[in-house]
Structure formats: C-alpha cells, structure tokens
Amino acid sequence: MPKTQTRLKQFLIWRYKHVSQKNFTFILSALVGFLAGLAAVTLRNITFYIEAVLENLRALTSNQWYFVLPFIGLMLVYWFVKYVTKKPISHAIPSILHKLSRRSGIIERSKIYIPLIAAPLTVGFGGSVGLLGPAIASGSAISSNIGRLFHVNQKTRTLLIGCAAAGAISSIFKSPIAAIIFAIEVFSLDLTFASLLPLLIASVSSVLTSYFFLGDDLLFNFKSSDKFIINDTLFYVALGIGTGIASIYFTKMYFFILKGFEIFKTAFQKLLVGGLAIGVMLYFIPPLYGEGFGFINNLLAGNHLKALGTTPFDAYTDQIWVVIALLIGITVFKAIAMTTTFAAGGVGGIFIPTMVMGSALGNVVAKIINQLGFNVSETNFTLIGMAGLIAGVLHAPLTAMFLIAEISGGYELFIPLMISVGISFAIKKNAIDFTIYTKELAQKGQLLTHDKDQSVLTLMSLGSIIETNFVTLHPEMTLGEMLHKGVSKSTRNIFPVVNTNEEFAGVILLDDVRSIMFDRSLYDTTLVKHLMHNPPDIINFDADNMKVVMEKFQNSSAWNLPVIKNGKYAGFVSKSKLLTAYRRQLINFTK
C-alpha cells in the first residue's frame, strides 16, 4: 500500500476515535468554503485578465472587434472540448443536481479545472454569460472529492456540495447570508441546525478568502441612499408584474433557442452560427458583452450613457426615449445573447445574466414612470428589477431579497423587495413550474425537493430492489412441464412467462393452477399460454421513476409487479422490499 494511502487510513482511524462526525463536518465545511472561495477568485481573476488585455485591443479598433472576439473565445472552447475534455461540458447547476439525485453526489475530478479554463475563455472574449455557475461547478467538484477522500456518507457529501455553492456566491458577491439561502433554495437542503451551521461556516470561510485575496474590491461599489416611499407601492407592484412576465420570457426563450440550434448537426456548425449571431448583437448592443457588471454599476450610479457604451445610435442618445428603447433592447436581447452563447458551445452561468436583464428592466420602468410625470428612484427600481428576475427565473425569492439587501448596503428596500419579488415569483411559478436548472430532472422525476418523501423516492434506485429469483416459463410449455420445471423448483408463488426473445408475455400465479395441478389428464393438453394472464401493472425500468413505481403498487394493490427493461423481462419488484428500501433510505436521509 502506498505511503499516502497508509497515512490517510491512519488519519481516518484517528478521526473516528477522537473527532465526532458533527465536528468533522464543521471542519470539512470550513475547508470547502476556503477552496470554493479560492476557485471563485481564480476564475474571476483569469477572466478579468483576459478582459483587460482585450479591452486595450477594442479601444484601438472601436466596435468592429465585437464581431470577432466572441467567435475566437468560442473557438478556443471548442478546441478545448475536442482535444482535452473529449466530451461536451454540461451546464453547471443542472449537472450538479443530477449528480445529487442519481450519482449520490459523486462528481468527477476533471470538473474541478474544466470550468476554470472554459468559462474565462467564453466570458473573457465576450460570451454573454456569467461566472457564478462555473464557480459553483468547480467548488462542488472539489467538495465532492473531499467527501470521497474522507469517506463521508451521501448526506454529508450533499451538504458539502451545498457548502461549496454557498462559498462560491459568498466569495463573488461578498454576501454570506444570500449565499446560505441560495444553497438551501436551489439544492433543497433541509433548514436545520445540522445543515445551517456548516453552510454558515463555509460562507464565512469563503468570504474571508475573497477579502484576503481581493481586499475590499466589490463587484457592486454602491450604497443605497434612496429610501422606500409608501406612495410608490403601486409602481413596485407594476415592476413585480413586469419582472414576472420577463421571467417567463427568459425561460421560454432559453429553451426555444436551444431547441432551434438542434437543427445544426455538428458542434462546429453551432459555433459558426452562434458566434456570428453574438457578434451582431454585441455590435449594436455593446452592454451584452461578457457578464455585464459594468453595465449594472453604471445604471446604479445614474449614468445610463456610460452603461450603454458606444453604439451606432450615439447621435440620438440625448433623447430619453431613445435611451429607453436601447435599454429595452438589452432587456429583450440579454436572454437571447446568453442562450446563443450556450448553444454555440460556450460555458457559463445564468445567474448574472438574469441580474443584468433585471437591472435594465427595472431602470426602464423607472424612466417611463418618471417621463409620465411621477418621481421614483431609478436606482431602487434597478436594484429591485434584479431581484424580481432572480426570483422569477431561478425560483429563489429569498436569495433575491437578501442578495440585493446585502449588495445595496442595508435593508431599507426590504418592503418593496418583498412586494416585487413575491409577485414576480408567483407569476412565474404559476405559469412554469420549473426553472432552467430543473426542467429536465423534473420531467424525469429525478429532482430533489424540500418534500422529504419526494426526495427519498428520488434518491432510491430501482435497480437495487429488483428480484430475479423467479423461474421463467414459456407460452408453449405444457402444464406437466410447468409443474416439473417450474413449480417444483421455485420458492416463489408467481411465474413470469417470456417468449423465445425473453420478452415478457404474462404471469401465472400458483393459485391459478392449484385446483388442476394434480389432474394428470391435463398435463399434456393444457399449455402455459392458456393459463397465463396480464399482471395488474408493469414497471418500465427505462421510463418509470420511484414515485411512479410507488403509485403503481398503490393503484393496483399488487404485492409483486414485473419489470421490463429494454423491452425484455428483467425481474420483479415486491411491495415488501420496496417499503423496506424506502424506510432504510428515509432513515439515512433524516438522521
């Protein structure tokens, strides 16, 4: 045994004797927070360095480089995928949720460094996506492998992944409270002392890491000074309605564009079309370039001209309605530019693009209200517009409220935040009951939720409860052959019938033949196909999740149901084994 493994084994033995599981989890959460924060800082610095180098180039050549830079970045990512990763890079949060539900939170080591390379190439060269998703992906891979290294159980590994997500947000935004809430809302972690304290430790550890490496540098160098005015309440209601509708648009546009790109057969074709489309959008709407934090900061500072940058419409930006039209263009096209970046092979996240779109929409609403003769704070509407989009698009209303409260330097806006965020979330949730993160998993019934019963069923594996010790019969068997080759050699009272291709044909119960099994005159004339019948229901291994399996048992009142896998008979699931597995998983999930 290598010395490293020997020392690790000795450490684990010492740990089991001297450190409780609870305290060890606290230690690991601090370590995960530090490493997730370090990954986020590294990701951010690499991207900012690329942007700084390219900024000098763009300053010399005006907007023409917008046509080229995104394509170059996407091409570099394409080569990285083709020659290094050798397989497509999956989207961060959906991939993590899938690992939690179907892989017990086990994430490949390669996921640690892949986002740190692919995301800066995408964003640094102008891809209209964010860095938060890749930061969470890298941190989650780190936490998963730390959990595997120290042999923690599935529940602790899931908690550490939540700690990594909290750490990434805490490091990037320096908002530790919102970071904790995000991990709870998006990863469906239980809000208990056992989970809250590790999340808090990880969040604090990560934000301290960010301060250590970046000092007081903040993404939003801004403090809110405009207070909530009760007379503006109806305007905040209108903003909530607007952000709710925009959230529906954002989500539907995302899936519409991705589906549209399916007509292109190769990744290179998607790259060509997507790269050109992004270049055109960036030429006319420069704020779509990269993440967009500069755009948000300029809007918060009240400088909409600087936020818009150099556009082909500069000669008309002294007219406020032209400015409003350009801001509406950013609101509409941010979702398009972001999704096109993904469809073309780019790597990034959706959280920050959501904030950019929300800030533009909030600022537009305030400008229109002010042009109608009223007087509202454009800064406040910009902030609350961001919160409304986050709540609607991500179904994370508490994250939205606390994030905006933290980055704005206080809780003066909590009442309008509650109004707009609540309305936006309700509108989007009623219209579309899933998010970009969760759609695919929700449709497959593989999504972890705050419903413990649903989560336990999601974590259960159908393959682990299939029983195969049944004697199979063939339709052309005689009753005598069935009794001699089946009944006499089986300890079960149910017999699956399969054809020569192992395809399921029906079942025979021992009770079906009990009254004739001693009538020898029927042994040669009665065939299995005469006795077999359909079961109360059939479990489809490829299509049915554990919730559906449980419902089939409940609706059919059966004690055993056959399983079909790839069109062929695979075995039976018994109600007793299903309930035993459920109870065992429930104990593991809640202890």
User: How far, in Å, CA of 431 to CA of 442, rounded?
Assistant: 15
* CATH for 230-452, options being 1.20.1250.20, 1.10.3080.10, 1.25.40.10, 3.20.20.80: 1.10.3080.10
Lowest-pLDDT choice from 97-101, 115-119, 427-431, 434-438: 97-101
Q: Is the pLDDT of residue 414 over 60?
A: yes
- 478, β-bridge pairs: 527
User: How far, in Å, CA of 503 to CA of 569, rounded?
Assistant: 6
Q: Residue 371's pLDDT band (boundaries 50, 70, 90)?
A: very high
Residues 6+ apart with CB under 8 A from 177: 203, 402, 406
* All structural domains of the chain with their residue ranges: 3-214, 230-452, 454-590
pLDDT (tens digit per residue) in 188-204 = 766 666 678 999 999 99
Q: Is the pLDDT of residue 417 over 90?
A: yes
Residue linked to tokens 């989207």: 91
| DSSP alpha helix (H) spans, 62-192 | 69-80, 92-102, 110-124, 132-149, 154-173, 176-187
CATH fold of 3-214: Clc chloride channel (1.10.3080)
Residues 6+ apart with CB under 8 A from 45: none
Whether the CB-CB separation of 569 and 498 falls below 8 Å is answered with: yes
User: How far, in Å, CA of 121 to CA of 51, rounded?
Assistant: 10
Q: Residue 361's pLDDT band (boundaries 50, 70, 90)?
A: very high
pLDDT of residue 315: 79
Residue linked to tokens 């907007």: 63
Q: Is the pLDDT of residue 99 over 90?
A: no
The whole-chain average pLDDT of the chain stands at 86
pLDDT of residue 167: 93
Predicted structure pTM score: 0.81
Q: Is the pLDDT of residue 574 over 90?
A: no
For residue 4 the two structure tokens come to 């490293």
User: How far, in Å, CA of 160 to CA of 313, rounded?
Assistant: 49
What SS3 class is residue 15? helix
Q: Is the pLDDT of residue 328 over 90?
A: yes
pLDDT of residue 142: 94
User: How far, in Å, CA of 412 to CA of 232, rounded?
Assistant: 14
Other Cβ atoms within 10 Å of 190 Cβ, number: 18
pLDDT (tens digit per residue) in 469-521 = 888 889 888 888 888 888 888 888 888 998 888 888 888 888 888 888 888 88
Q: Is the pLDDT of residue 390 over 90?
A: yes
pLDDT of residue 77: 94
Give the mean model confidence (pLDDT) for residues 81-93. 85
| % of the chain with per-residue pLDDT over 90 | 40
pLDDT of residue 589: 56
pLDDT of residue 460: 67
Q: Is the pLDDT of residue 60 over 60?
A: no
pLDDT of residue 455: 57
* SS3 letters across 376-440: CCHHHHHHHHHHHHHHHHHCCHHHHHHHHHHHCCCCCCHHHHHHHHHHHHHHHHHHCCCCCCCHH
- The CATH number assigned to the domain with range 454-590 reads 3.10.580.10
Other Cβ atoms within 10 Å of 187 Cβ, number: 24
pLDDT (tens digit per residue) in 214-231 = 876 666 766 666 788 888
Lowest-pLDDT choice from 85-99, 187-201, 282-296: 187-201
For residue 420 the two structure tokens come to 């707009």
Lowest-pLDDT choice from 55-59, 75-79, 149-153: 55-59
Whether the CB-CB separation of 473 and 486 falls below 8 Å is answered with: yes
- Judge if 3-214 and 454-590 fold alike in CATH terms: no
| % of the chain with per-residue pLDDT over 70 | 90
